[in-house]
């Protein structure tokens, strides 16, 4: 990287700034208003500069994992790049889980890690780790900045790479001496990346071929994923779906890209997807995959996946196409552009698409199974689904909902109908317990006036519970709904199915009193133990608009998530109850 | 199936390990790898030999393209191309007469004696990987002390070169 790449050369007599000052200026240039971070020796120059200015807010988390998840929550709910700042060594290693999480779910974040002085690199210096080496397999890109002259271009590139193409995390490693070296500041307009040019516009010939397949479809289904949300293509997806009249299913990551209450929506698919969605996938003759990656939790047994379908796959990442499952018509491009082109093409056609009413009749028949149904007796244990149903009704489907990982996550996905994108914030690819609360902080900071709920379990919440302190410091009025079944429910469920109910280590003993715990952090805590109290309590909780409320709901410890496709099974081999 | 890939990548610390990581993370072995600077000092060129079916190769080339440091990838196996590998072979003979045999073999394969020390000879030979293997076999009646091979370098036949902006 040479300085001559800088498009705007500074005058020789301009003021000299330190690397730390330049760092702040770069953030301002990238319109970063919020940074989630935690200080330490290697980043103290930067913290000193943060202290002196007002343009960038710094949110002090309580663990660096929280900083990266908060940055993810911020990014997922806004579409903007989330930013985290941590120190070298343990600061960087603590951040790795969030970086890997962002990598798996294609979340645009930039993580700045402090590093020991350049002269000490490789000497096993105090708090030195090879951050670039450790994070290499779980970043979209990473950069070690070796001189201050390299810093502006490195940061320009980091934001560009994180936010374009298939988004993802970028790590920028900043040795301490780089943040004290001086130079005149100029921010490059162009990231100058000759080797990085994501394809956005779909190939016209491939789009034509895709349309040809649609014209012959008798049993079509649209299967859309998180990529549609990343590319802000929800309007195009909705228009395309309405125009074709085809049924549509969303992945866990794609919920909200198409209105969850629309009659064309056949619910989520995959391991815990609806009966109708999975059966329709299995029997379809034409599959239109958009921004989805044929993950194993979606496909089940690949050998038996969609055996009758011709497959169209629209994705911005060529390596996603035919990675797990061979497709017939690949279209590399941004979902927004490609869907727009397909809509335009369809509208110009005289010939209507084939009548698929027989297919819809079949789907409606499958839907009668009502596979997400549950029964709540008012004098029995509280069903977790009942709580989420109530939450959905009381919030009118308008809340931002984050979740942790486990049964509760699947129940939110099944029961909370998201009509808008970027409202459902969860960890899909990595499945990171501990994600929910810090992610909710990022969402709440980005949307200070909106209702943000974190649905969690008593096991997951304890993985980042320290962030309750951050929530207190910044007055974040998140509503934490803890579905407390005294089990690592999802683990217990697998033990029920595959290990003759031997509950090895999946019970939660010695649980804290969550109400007192919340109170000791300065929040409101409430406990719900009876079904009849669920709705009235939630109503009161939601009315406490300016407080974080921790709602500990004691739920049925035996409830399992259905339907379920066991690993190795096919879509038409669901366990229904 | 044996595959030979030509890759242009940014001449930066870390670029090589990104490529190596990509293979190891997928459990795919790199059979040989040659990396050198090019006439453009900002670029390195890599010739890489690996084994895999079409699907593995497709995924690997796509993943290589996805690396920000990788500028160009070409599957030479799919094109008219040539390969050359350099080998240095150290052989110890029992008697001085045997050295004649080495000279015979060198004549056939275009090899050359690069170093001699008593009855220990180091010869150099350039050829395709197959030719080099044949050369070594031809000397196998003697004590082969050491063999060093560069791994093949590859280039397309004809006028076309591997350039920035080349796509598969
Ligand atoms: C960091 C991490 N460790 C372990 C797991 C494996 N795991 C998946 S779900 C689960 C249980 C979660 O329990 P809880 O948070 O109580 O939610 P529930 O399933 O009961 O709703 C575990 C341990 C994981 N996903 N993440």
Confidence (pLDDT) at A7? 44
pLDDT of A102 higher than 90: yes
Pocket probe mutation, ligand 1, options A96, A297, A381, A405, max atoms within 8 Å of Cβ: A405
Q: Do A319 and B66 touch (CB under 8 A)?
A: yes
Could you tell me if A319 lies within 8 Å of chain B, comparing CB atoms?
A: yes
What is the per-residue pLDDT for A4? 45
Contact A195 B71 (CB under 8 A): yes
Average pLDDT over residues A351-374: 96
Determine, for residues B68 and A132 on separate chains, whether the beta-carbon distance falls below 8 Å.
no
Residue B115 within any structural domain of the chain? yes
Structure confidence at residue A3 (pLDDT): 42
- CATH, residue B19: 3.30.70.260
Check whether B93 has a pLDDT greater than 70.
yes
| Position A13 pLDDT exceeds 80 | no
Do B68 and B93 fall within a single domain? no
Angle between helices A357-367 and A275-283 (to 10 degrees): 140
The residue to which tokens 């610390």 are assigned: B13
Measure A75 CA to nearest chain B CA, in Å: 22
Helix axis angle, B98-109 relative to B129-138, nearest 10°?
160
Q: Let me know if residue B89 belongs to a domain.
A: yes
- The answer to whether the CB of A464 falls within 8 A of the CB of A439 is no
Query: Nearest-CA neighbor of B85 among B134, B144, B145, B142?
Result: B134
Pair (B104, B58) in one structural domain: no
pLDDT for the residue A12 = 54
In the set A21, A30, A64, A128, the catalytic residue is A64
Same domain, B61 and B98: no
Q: How many CB atoms lie within 10 A of CB A376?
A: 16
Nearest CA to ligand 1 atom 4: A433
Query: Is A150 tagged catalytic?
Result: no
Position A399 scores a pLDDT of 98
Structure tokens at A423: 């409202």
Q: Which of B50, B78, B106 is the last residue of a domain?
A: B78
With contact defined as beta carbons under 8 Å apart, do A153 and A5 qualify?
Answer: yes
What is the enclosing helix (H) or strand (E) of A161?
helix A151-163
pLDDT band per the 50, 70, 90 thresholds, residue A14: confident
Q: How does strand B43-51 pair with strand A310-315?
A: unpaired
CB atoms within 10 A of CB A203: 15
CB contacts of B41 in chain A (<8 Å) are none
Tell whether B167 lies on the interface with A, counting CB pairs under 8 A. Answer: no
To the query of whether residue A64 is one of the catalytic residues in this protein, the response is yes
The single residue of A126, A180, A215, A519 carrying the catalytic annotation is: A126
Q: How confident is the model at residue A350 (pLDDT cuts 50, 70, 90)?
A: confident
Counting one residue from chain A and one from chain B, the pairs whose CB atoms sit within 8 A come to: 38
B7 and B72: one domain?
yes
For residue A462, the tally of other CB atoms under 10 A from its CB is 18
Please identify which of the residues A80, A140, A176, A383 carries the catalytic annotation.
A176
Specify the DSSP class assigned to residue A14: S
Lowest-confidence range among A49-53, A72-76, B54-58? B54-58
Active-site pick, A127, A264, A362, A473: A127
Q: Is B109 domain-assigned?
A: yes
Average pLDDT over residues A268-276: 98
pLDDT digits 0-9 by tens, A437-482: 999 999 999 999 999 999 999 999 999 999 999 999 999 999 999 9
d(CA B35, CA A330): 33
Mutant choice from B55, B68, B164, B165 vs A, greatest count of A C-beta within 10 A = B68
pLDDT in tens, A140-173: 999 999 999 999 999 999 999 999 999 999 999 9
- Give the pairing of strands A141-144 and A82-86: unpaired
Rounded average pLDDT over A66-73: 98
Q: Do A195 and B9 make contact, defined as CB atoms within 8 angstroms?
A: yes
Q: How far is CA B63 from CA A401, B33, B75, B125, in A?
A: 34, 17, 13, 35
Question: Do B74 and B86 belong to one domain?
Answer: no
The reply to whether residue B68 touches residue A144, judged by beta carbons under 8 angstroms, is: no
Q: Which of B28, B50, B78 corresponds to the end of one domain?
A: B78
C-alpha–C-alpha distance, residues A344 and B1, integer Å: 44
User: Which pLDDT score, from 0 to 100, does residue A187 have?
Assistant: 97
Which among A123, A42, A19, A141 is positioned nearest to B12, based on CA atoms?
A141
- Which of B78, B94, B117 is the last residue before a domain boundary? B78
Structure tokens belonging to residue A18: 């330190």
Q: B144 with B104, same domain?
A: yes
Q: Are residues B133 and B119 in the same domain?
A: yes
Judge whether B160 lies within some domain.
no
For a pLDDT cut of 90, what percent of chain A falls above it?
A: 96
Residues B67 and B106 in one domain: no
Do B62 and A319 lie within an 8 Å CB cutoff?
A: yes
Q: How many residues does chain A have?
A: 577
Q: Are residues B72 and B139 in the same domain?
A: no
Query: Does the model's ipTM exceed the 0.95 cut?
Result: no
Provide the percentage of residues in chain A whose pLDDT is more than 70: 98
Q: How far is B160 from chain A (nearest CA, A)?
A: 20
The verdict on A263 touching B (C-beta cutoff 8 Å) is no
Of B59, B70, B71, the CB nearest to A323: B59
- Clarify whether residues B104 and B56 are in a common domain: no
On the question of pLDDT at A391 being above 80, the answer is yes
Chain A residues within an 8 Å CB radius of B165: 194
Flag whether residue B110 sits within 8 Å of chain A, measured between CB atoms: no
Torsion of CA B32, B33, B34, B36, to 10 degrees: -170
Residue B166, min C-alpha distance to chain A (Å): 10
- pLDDT of A9 over the 90 cut: no
Domain-embedded: residue B166: no
B110 and B54 both lie in a single domain = no
Is B13–A144 a contact, with Cβ atoms under 8 angstroms apart?
Answer: yes
- pLDDT in the model for residue A475: 98
Cross-chain CB nearest to B70 (options A132, A195, A318)? A195
The overall average pLDDT reported for chain B is 93
Pocket test for ligand 1, best of A63, A488, A559 (most atoms within 8 A of CB): A488
* pLDDT value at residue A349: 87
Flag whether pLDDT at A41 surpasses 60: yes
What residues of chain A lie within 8 A of the CB of B18, using their CB? 136
- A275 has pLDDT over 70: yes
The torsion angles phi and psi of B155, rounded to 5 degrees, stand at -150, 150
Smallest CA–CA distance, residue A195 to chain B, in Å, is: 4
Phi first, then psi: what are they for B113, rounded to 5°? -80, 125
Residue span of the structural domain in which B39 resides: 2-78
Query: What confidence tier does A351 reach under pLDDT thresholds 50, 70, 90?
Result: confident
Q: Which of A490, A508, A564, A574 is catalytic?
A: A490
Per residue in B130-160, pLDDT (tens digit) is 999 999 999 999 999 999 999 999 999 999 9
User: B63 vs A319: CB contact, 8 Å cut-off?
Assistant: yes
Q: Per-residue pLDDT tens for B6-51?
A: 999 999 988 999 999 999 999 999 999 999 999 999 999 999 999 9
Which of A148, A157, A114, A147 lies closest to A132, judged by CA? Answer: A114
C-beta separation of A223 from A284 below 8 A: no
Residue B167 belongs to some domain of the structure? no
Which residue's alpha carbon is at the smallest distance from atom 11 of ligand 1? Answer: A488
A127 is catalytic: yes
The full set of domains in chain A, from first to last, is: 16-184 (3.40.50.970), 204-367 (3.40.50.1220), 384-561 (3.40.50.970)
Residues with Cβ within 6 A of ligand 1?
Answer: A 404-408, 431-433, 457-460, 483, 485, 487-491
- Least confident segment among A12-16, A149-153, A230-234, A516-520: A12-16
CATH code, B138: 3.30.70.1150
| pLDDT tier at A1, thresholds 50, 70, 90 | very low
Chain B residue at shortest CA distance from A161: B68
pLDDT, one tens digit per residue, over A198-256 is 988 999 999 999 999 999 999 999 999 999 999 999 999 999 999 999 999 999 999 99
Closest in B12, B13, B21 to A137, CB measured: B21
Q: Are residues B15 and B63 in the same domain?
A: yes
Helix (H, G, I), strand (E, B) or coil at B112: strand
Is residue A177 pLDDT above 90, yes or no? Answer: yes
Is the pLDDT at A11 greater than 60? The verdict is no
Worst-scoring range by mean pLDDT, A19-28, A190-199, A272-281? A190-199
Based on its alpha-carbon atoms, the radius of gyration of chain A, rounded to whole angstroms, reads: 25
Q: Which chain A residues have a beta carbon less than 8 Å from that of B59?
A: 319, 323
Domains of chain B: total: 2
Which regions of A157-301 does DSSP assign to beta strands (E)?
A: 170-175, 182-184, 220-224, 248-250, 265-268, 286-290
Over residues A38-48, mean pLDDT: 98
Q: Does B161 fall in a domain? A: no
B103 falls within a domain: yes
Contact A317 B17 (CB under 8 A): no
């Amino acid at each position: 990287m040479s300085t001559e790449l800088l498009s705007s050369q500074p005058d020789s007599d301009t003021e000299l700034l330190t690397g730390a000052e330049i760092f702040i200026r770069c953030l301002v240039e990238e319109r970063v208003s919020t940074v989630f971070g935690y200080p330490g020796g290697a980043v103290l120059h930067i913290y000193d500069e943060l202290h002196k200015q007002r343009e960038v807010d710094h949110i002090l988390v309580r663990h660096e994992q929280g900083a990266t998840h908060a940055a993810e929550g911020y990014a997922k709910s806004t579409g903007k790049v989330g930013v985290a700042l941590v120190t070298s060594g343990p600061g960087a290693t603590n951040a790795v889980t969030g970086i890997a999480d962002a990598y798996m779910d294609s979340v645009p974040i930039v993580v700045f890690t402090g590093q020991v002085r350049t002269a000490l690199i490789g000497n096993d210096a105090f708090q030195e780790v090879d951050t670039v080496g450790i994070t290499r397999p779980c970043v979209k890109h990473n950069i070690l900045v070796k001189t201050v002259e390299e810093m502006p271009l490195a940061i320009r590139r980091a934001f560009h790479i994180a936010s374009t193409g298939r988004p993802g995390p970028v790590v920028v490693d900043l040795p301490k001496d780089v943040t004290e070296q001086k130079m005149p500041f100029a921010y490059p307009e162009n990231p100058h990346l000759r080797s990085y040019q994501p394809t956005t516009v779909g190939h016209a010939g491939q789009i034509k071929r895709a349309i040809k397949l649609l014209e012959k479809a008798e049993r079509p289904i649209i299967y859309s994923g998180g990529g549609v949300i990343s590319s802000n293509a929800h309007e195009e997806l909705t228009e395309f779906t309405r125009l074709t009249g085809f049924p549509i299913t969303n992945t866990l990551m794609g919920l909200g890209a198409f209105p969850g209450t629309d009659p064309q929506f056949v619910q989520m698919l995959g391991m815990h997807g609806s009966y109708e969605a999975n059966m329709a996938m299995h029997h379809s003759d034409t599959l239109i995959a958009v921004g989805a990656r044929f993950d194993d939790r979606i496909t089940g047994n690949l050998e038996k996946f969609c055996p009758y379908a011709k497959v169209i796959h629209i994705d911005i990442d060529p390596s996603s196409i035919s990675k797990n499952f061979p497709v017939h018509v690949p279209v590399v491009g941004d979902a927004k552009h490609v869907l727009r082109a397909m809509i335009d093409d369809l509208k110009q056609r005289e010939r209507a698409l084939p009548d698929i009413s027989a297919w819809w009749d079949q789907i409606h028949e499958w839907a009668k199974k009502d596979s997400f149904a549950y029964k709540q007796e008012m004098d029995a244990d509280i069903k977790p689904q009942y709580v989420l149903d109530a939450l959905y009704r009381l919030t009118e489907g308008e809340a931002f909902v984050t979740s942790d990982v486990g049964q509760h996550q699947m129940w939110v996905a099944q029961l909370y109908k998201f009509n808008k994108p970027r409202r459902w914030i969860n960890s899909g690819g990595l499945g990171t317990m501990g994600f929910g609360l810090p992610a909710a902080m990022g969402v709440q900071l980005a949307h200070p006036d909106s209702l943000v709920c974190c649905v969690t379990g008593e096991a997951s919440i304890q993985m980042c519970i320290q962030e309750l302190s951050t929530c207190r410091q910044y007055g974040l009025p998140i509503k934490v709904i803890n579905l407390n079944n005294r089990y690592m429910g999802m683990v217990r469920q697998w033990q029920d199915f595959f290990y003759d109910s031997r509950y090895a280590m999946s019970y939660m003993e010695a649980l804290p009193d969550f109400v007192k715990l919340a109170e000791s952090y300065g929040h409101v805590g409430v406990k719900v133990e009876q079904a009849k109290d669920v709705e009235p309590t939630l109503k009161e909780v939601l009315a406490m608009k300016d407080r974080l409320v921790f709602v500990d709901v004691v739920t049925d410890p035996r409830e399992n998530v259905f339907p379920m496709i066991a690993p190795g099974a096919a879509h038409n081999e669901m366990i229904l109850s | 199936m044996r595959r030979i890939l030509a890759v242009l990548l940014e001449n930066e610390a870390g670029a090589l390990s990104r490529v190596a990581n990509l293979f190891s993370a997928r459990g795919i072995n790199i059979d040989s790898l040659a990396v050198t600077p090019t006439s453009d000092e900002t670029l390195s060129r890599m010739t890489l030999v690996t084994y895999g079916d079409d699907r593995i190769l497709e995924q690997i080339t796509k993943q290589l393209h996805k690396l920000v440091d990788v500028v160009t990838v070409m599957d030479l196996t799919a094109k008219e191309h040539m390969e050359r590998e350099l080998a240095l072979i150290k052989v110890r003979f029992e008697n001085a007469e045997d050295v004649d045999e080495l000279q015979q073999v060198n004549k056939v394969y275009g090899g050359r004696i690069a170093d001699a020390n008593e009855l220990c000879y180091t010869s150099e030979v350039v050829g395709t990987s197959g030719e080099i293997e044949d050369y070594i076999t031809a000397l196998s009646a003697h004590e082969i002390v050491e063999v060093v091979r560069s791994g093949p370098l590859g280039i397309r036949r004809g006028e076309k070169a591997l350039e920035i902006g080349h796509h598969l």
